[in-house]
Structure 1
């Protein structure tokens, strides 16, 4: 029976530890990932075209969908992470410019202002109503 105070003797068939070269990474071992931030959306993608609008059509340069596409929305949210009011002002300005551009391209069959509002502004930061609406009048209401 082996002595519990002695270190275990390696078996001859045990895996040999990898050789560590001078640059610090073990040979034959997988390269570690860059961490959780590697998957986070970046302001400037490393490869391929950026998700920016192709004006005056307002289509995404990267994926061809109507801009802002889902990726562009994610990138804008990350870029304006702690400045929600700035994002709301920026999106409102884009809404105005897109309304102008798209109306000039097709005054008859272009998107409606409501559709453009949904596309550019409604997905942005949470908005509260400026004033609480009065309760609905049911039955006898007095008017002054």
Structure 2
């Protein structure tokens, strides 16, 4: 006797694992899931959660992505590439913030 054939696929919403991930579509550096500039808000949240206990690692990872994105984006448009300051803010500037190595002096006469 032959085994039964599988029936029709369930009509259920996609699980979290089946959704398009918020990863960069290179070399344009747009999010695969929502089409925003990558890293989009969701990608930033996920990266912060993934590197929760490793802020130095997140900073190094973001700096590497900044380098790769600059290389890709300038290669695509060498005459009118992205502004380096804006690109830095997009890739690195939102990441973990550190306090200054030296505390700012207190204002004289202030209470």
TM-score class normalised by the smaller sequence: 0.7 to 0.9
Shift of 1:47: 3.3
1:78-89 alignment, distance < 5 Å: 78-89=49-60
- Two-structure CA RMSD over aligned residues (Å): 1.7
- Structure number with bigger Rg: 1
1:1-144 alignment, distance < 5 Å: 45-130=16-101
Shift of 1:130: 4.7
Shift of 1:113: 0.6
**Take 1:108 and 1:130, find their aligned partners in 2: how far apart are those partners?**
39
Larger RCO (CA within 8 A; separation ≥ 6) = 2
Shift of 1:133: 7.8
TM-score (norm 1): 0.58
TM-score (norm 2): 0.74
Larger helix proportion, structure 1 or 2?
A: 2
**Take 1:63 and 1:119, find their aligned partners in 2: how far apart are those partners?**
16
Give the gaps of 5 or more residues in structure 1.
Answer: 1-44, 135-144
Give the gaps of 5 or more residues in structure 2.
Answer: 1-15, 106-111
Runs of 4+ off more than 3 Å: 128-134
